[in-house]
């Protein structure tokens, strides 16, 4: 019998138990163990019914994703599930935790499914650039009908046990958390009631009902909007549709063909890199797993503006009380009114009850004095980017906050060490860089200062998990990881327009690559004044920041979406960027003043100058140890800046583009465009020289 799957008989129930931590994934050993256990159960005369149950925190959470991209080993999952379904003894699956992907497909190949009420089921393969490849697209619609199966399979969203029962996916749901006991009771019921073998493949009423339906084309239309640039969601629809047009075995064959197309798509590799990257970033290099973590049970926030308000919502959403301090009462009132409006909008959409809105608002204490921070565990400063003001604030925090309080700045560019130097406890100072809108964006770029203690680093990574953010720990430099690379892209995007491109041409290249919006539409969303103030700050600090046509927009009061005019113009109530001839004239005028003769610029040049410059900078960031691994950069860009996850992030994408191609272009622009941003990174040169990739690091 295998290490990871056991068989034993209890009474006249043959119990097949999977025990393969952390999530009982269907690796080769589990698949062959299940097949052997099933065979044993078949031969066991004393077993009238077979029960499949799992140890640990969850039922099977899918195929073993780590095996993808490697040669497929027998037994394959489709064969395993077909063998299960063909069992001539009733098979019961007892589900707890999450039955996902191949795990749910295995349960669907059983004849009955019982679950505890806390369980969830789902087919999230589409999130990995795949589709259910072990019968999920053929068996699920036989239970739920076409529309629900399409919803579950094209979104990958999990469904709670009670809803799954209502949908016919489950046969029974019991309270309690002893899944073994729940399974045994149900299996005994199958025996006592003489329930027969019932194969999902033979259930056809829902198939007949939706045959010829136009729901498949409806989904294809809808996916054009919500799955722009993605490959597998459309293949999911084709596979489910096959269940309605083909006999079961041919449907299974069609599913397999489509599954292999997805497996071969580069998007699968990108999305799986993102899946594991999102988990790996929580393991910070050099920070032992057992580093003590300070428990954050109360939070203080300075500034009730857009960022301060959004940051506060993250904490009250998970029940942590927040004290918000502002300088003036009206700023405080305005900030809290925006938070309440956000929650009431969620309530209008049915995402929250009014009672929950009140509960969350009750966890926020407005204040006009720092004294109210004396007992909080963590303070986050979220005022605008001005070093002098930030140092003043941290000096005051140093006075009032209790020993052991974590002092964090939401700065998006400024030097954490300099901010920390305003206190006598730099070891307790750290950057916590949220992204706008802070209550929505998943990324939290935690920035370690040179004196930040391991305990504080571990604590802010734990805070990220607690408030359901993807926390990435990065080093301290101007703009940290994300903004440092973004600034390079911004500089190139500006130069490309100076030299002859239009803002909309540049933005289209980026949205065609898969970004939700381009460089200039993003400037309009963030506010042209934000970038303008940062450039003015740097000019005041004596840095040589060239003049730009964006400054002229700011000086004319074209601040972006908030003034319905920036680089683009916006119709009343619309966020759709519309090219504005006035801006084109302004840019032409700017070129004349700068003595620039515009030239034809290709989309390829725009792609290379806007994205390769980021990759070159990413390599420098790795050289300097500001990011520990290429995947840290990838996750920062996927969750903070909308880099398409199906391309795996900039560094993963660079490997797919070919580092030699990128280095050649970097060298070309170094001689044609110039500037330190095109200085080839030593790491890039070394990897190309050694024929290696960022993935090898």
Residues catalogued as catalytic: 105, 125
**Toward ligand T1G, which CB reaches closer, 164 or 663?**
164
In 3-state terms, what secondary structure has residue 445? strand
**Other residues' Cβ atoms within 10 Å of the Cβ of residue 431:** 27
Considering only 133, 471, 479, 649, the residue that binds ligand T1G (CB under 6 A) is 133
Distances (CA, A) of 356 to 253, 304, 340, 670: 48, 21, 11, 56
Q: Which lies closer to ligand T1G via its Cβ, residue 61 or residue 481? A: 61
Residue 4 C-beta-side C-alpha neighbours within 13 Å: 17
Question: Of 21 and 229, which has the nearer Cβ to ligand T1G?
Answer: 21
Residues numbered 251 to 290 that lie near ligand T1G (CB under 6 A) are: 276, 279
CB of 23 to ligand T1G, least distance (A): 4
| Binding of residue 25 to ligand T1G (CB under 6 A) | yes
Q: Which stretch binds ligand T1G (CB under 6 A): 94-102, 295-303, 461-469, 671-679?
A: 94-102
Helix/strand/coil for 653: helix
403-to-175, 400, 430, 432 alpha-carbon distances in Å: 45, 9, 15, 19
Size of the site for ligand T1G (CB under 6 A): 25
Q: Is residue 424 a contact residue for ligand T1G (CB under 6 A)?
A: no
Q: Is-contact 301 377, C-beta < 8 A?
A: no
Q: Which is nearer to ligand T1G, 63 or 430 (CB)?
A: 63
User: Per rule CB under 6 A, is residue 632 in the interface with ligand T1G?
Assistant: no
564 φψ region: left (φ > 0), alpha (ψ -120 to 50), beta (else): left
The secondary structure of 402-430 as a DSSP string is: PTT-EEEE--SSS-HHHHHTTSS-GGGEE
Q: Is 77 in the site for ligand T1G (CB under 6 A)?
A: yes
Nearer CB in complex with ligand T1G: 139/390? 139
Among 100, 190, 393, 420, binds ligand T1G (CB under 6 A): 100
Give least dist CB 29 to ligand T1G, A: 13
User: Residues near 61 by Cβ (< 8 Å), separated by ≥ 6?
Assistant: 23, 24, 25, 97, 98, 99, 100, 101, 103
What does the CA dihedral 57, 107, 52, 178 come to, rounded to 10 degrees? 40
> Which residue, 278 or 655, has its beta carbon nearer to ligand T1G?
278
Positions 38 through 67 that interact with ligand T1G (CB under 6 A): 61-66
Q: Which is nearer to ligand T1G, 257 or 375 (CB)?
A: 257
Which residues have CB under 8 Å from 203's CB, separation 6+? 142, 143
**524 and 530 Cβ atoms separated by less than 8 Å:** no
Shortest reach from residue 679's CB to ligand T1G, in Å = 36
Cβ 465 to ligand T1G, closest distance in Å? 9
Give the residues across from 472 on adjacent strands: 445
Question: Using the rule CB under 6 A, which residue among 98, 144, 265, 561 binds ligand T1G?
Answer: 98
Options 10-18, 44-52, 96-104, 189-197: segment touching ligand T1G (CB under 6 A): 96-104
Judged by CB, which is closer to ligand T1G: 131, or 408? 131
Give the residue with the Cβ less far from ligand T1G, 99 or 621. 99
Which string of DSSP letters, residue by residue, matches 153-220?
Answer: HHH---EEHHHHHHHTS-SEEE-SS-HHHHHHHHHHHHHHTTPPP--GGG--HHHHHHTT-THHHHHH
Tell me how far, at minimum, the Cβ of 312 lies from ligand T1G, in Å: 25
CB of 1 to ligand T1G, least distance (A): 23
User: Considering beta carbons, is residue 268 or 489 the nearer one to ligand T1G?
Assistant: 268
Distance between CA atoms of 393 and 370, rounded to whole angstroms?
Answer: 9
Distances (CA, A) of 73 to 28, 68, 514, 580: 7, 11, 34, 58
Q: How far apart are the first and last CA of the chain?
A: 39
Shortest Cβ distance from residue 259 to ligand T1G (Å)?
7
- DSSP class of residue 346 equals H
Q: Distance between CA 163 and CA 150 in Å, rounded?
A: 16
Site track 322-361 with ligand T1G (rule: CB under 6 A), x = hit: ----------------------------------------
CB 69 to ligand T1G: min, Å: 12
Options 22-30, 178-186, 302-310, 357-365: segment touching ligand T1G (CB under 6 A): 22-30
The secondary element (H helix, E strand) that includes residue 352 is none
Q: How far is the CB of 252 from ligand T1G (least distance, A)?
A: 12
Tokens 């989904």 locate to 219
Dig out the tokens for 641 from the structure: 């800046």
Binding of ligand T1G by 630 (CB under 6 A): no
Piece of the chain touching ligand T1G by CB under 6 A; list 122-130, 192-200, 236-244, 512-520: 122-130
d(CA 436, CA 127) in angstroms, rounded, equals: 24
Among 18, 20, 59, 105, binds ligand T1G (CB under 6 A): 105
Q: Which listed residue (22, 46, 212, 581) binds ligand T1G by CB under 6 A?
A: 22
Judged by CB under 6 A, the residue of 132, 145, 251, 471 near ligand T1G is 132
Q: Binding ligand T1G by CB under 6 A: which of 13, 15, 16, 23?
A: 23
Q: Which of 134, 429, 522, 665 binds ligand T1G (CB under 6 A)?
A: 134
Residue with tokens 């809105």: 357
> Which residues are near ligand T1G by CB under 6 A?
22-23, 25, 61-66, 77, 98, 100-102, 105, 124-125, 128, 130, 132-134, 136, 276, 279
């Amino acid at each position: 019998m295998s290490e990871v799957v056991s068989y034993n008989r209890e009474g006249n129930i043959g119990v097949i138990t999977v025990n393969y931590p952390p999530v009982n994934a269907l690796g080769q050993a589990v698949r062959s163990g299940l097949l052997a256990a099933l065979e044993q159960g078949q031969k066991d005369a004393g077993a009238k019914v077979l029960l499949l149950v799992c140890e640990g925190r969850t039922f099977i959470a899918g195929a073993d994703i780590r095996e993808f991209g490697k040669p497929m080993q027998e037994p394959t999952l489709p064969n395993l599930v077909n063998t299960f379904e063909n069992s001539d003894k009733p098979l019961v699956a007892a589900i707890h935790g999450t039955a996902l992907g191949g795990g749910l497909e295995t349960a669907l190949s059983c004849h009955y499914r019982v679950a505890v009420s806390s369980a969830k089921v789902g087919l999230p393969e589409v999130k990995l650039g795949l589709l259910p490849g072990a019968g999920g697209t053929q068996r699920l619609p036989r239970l739920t009908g076409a529309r629900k199966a399409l919803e579950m399979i094209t979104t990958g969203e999990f469904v709670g046990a009670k809803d799954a029962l209502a949908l016919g996916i489950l046969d029974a749901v019991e309270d309690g958390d002893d899944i073994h006991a729940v399974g045994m009771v149900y299996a005994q019921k199958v025996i006592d009631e003489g329930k027969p073998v019932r194969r999902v493949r033979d259930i056809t009423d829902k198939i007949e009902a939706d045959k010829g339906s136009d729901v498949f084309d409806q989904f294809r239309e809808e996916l054009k909007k919500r799955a722009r640039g993605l490959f597998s969601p459309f293949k999911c629809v084709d596979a489910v549709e096959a269940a309605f047009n083909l006999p079961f075995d041919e449907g299974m064959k069609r599913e397999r063909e489509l599954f292999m197309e997805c497996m071969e798509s580069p998007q699968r590799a990108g999305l799986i890199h993102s899946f594991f990257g999102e988990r790996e970033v929580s393991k910070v290099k050099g920070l032992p797993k057992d580093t003590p973590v300070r428990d954050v049970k109360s939070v203080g926030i300075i500034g009730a503006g857009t960022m301060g308000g959004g940051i506060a919502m993250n904490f009250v959403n998970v029940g942590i009380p927040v004290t918000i301090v502002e300088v003036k009462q009206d700023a405080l009132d305005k900030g809290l009114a925006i938070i309440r409006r956000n929650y009431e909008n969620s309530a209008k959409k049915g995402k929250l009850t009014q009672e929950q809105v009140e509960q969350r608002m009750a966890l926020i204490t407005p204040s006009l004095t720092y004294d109210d921070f004396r007992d909080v565990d963590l303070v986050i400063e979220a005022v605008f980017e001005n070093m002098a003001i930030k140092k003043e604030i941290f000096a005051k925090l140093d006075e009032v906050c209790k020993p052991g309080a974590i002092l964090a700045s939401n700065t998006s560019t400024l030097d954490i060490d300099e901010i920390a130097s305003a206190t006598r406890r730099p070891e307790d100072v750290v950057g916590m860089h949220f992204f706008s809108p802070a209550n929505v964006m998943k990324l939290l770029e935690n920035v370690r200062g040179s004196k930040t203690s391991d305990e504080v680093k571990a604590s802010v990574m734990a805070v990220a998990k607690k408030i359901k953010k993807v926390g990435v720990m990065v080093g301290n430099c101007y703009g940290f990881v994300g903004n440092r690379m973004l600034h390079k892209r911004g500089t190139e995007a500006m130069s490309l327009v100076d030299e002859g491109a239009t803002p909309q041409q540049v933005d289209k290249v980026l949205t065609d690559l898969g970004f939700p919006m381009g460089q200039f539409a993003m400037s309009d969303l963030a506010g042209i004044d934000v970038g303008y103030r940062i450039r003015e700050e740097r000019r005041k600090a004596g840095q040589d920041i060239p003049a730009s046509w964006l400054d002229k927009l700011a000086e004319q009061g074209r601040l972006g979406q908030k003034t319905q005019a920036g680089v683009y113009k916006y119709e009343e109530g619309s966020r759709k960027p519309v090219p504005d001839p006035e801006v084109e004239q302004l840019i032409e005028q700017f070129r004349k003043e700068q003595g620039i003769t515009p030239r034809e610029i290709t989309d390829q040049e725009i792609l290379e100058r806007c994205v390769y410059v980021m990759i070159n900078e990413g390599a420098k960031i790795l050289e300097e140890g500001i990011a520990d691994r290429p995947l840290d950069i990838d996750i920062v860009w996927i969750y903070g800046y909308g880099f398409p996850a199906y391309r795996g992030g900039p560094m993963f994408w660079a490997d797919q583009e070919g580092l030699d191609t990128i280095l050649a272009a970097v060298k070309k622009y170094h001689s044609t465009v110039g500037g330190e941003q095109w200085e080839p990174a030593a790491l890039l040169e070394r990897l190309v020289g050694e024929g290696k990739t960022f993935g090898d690091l």
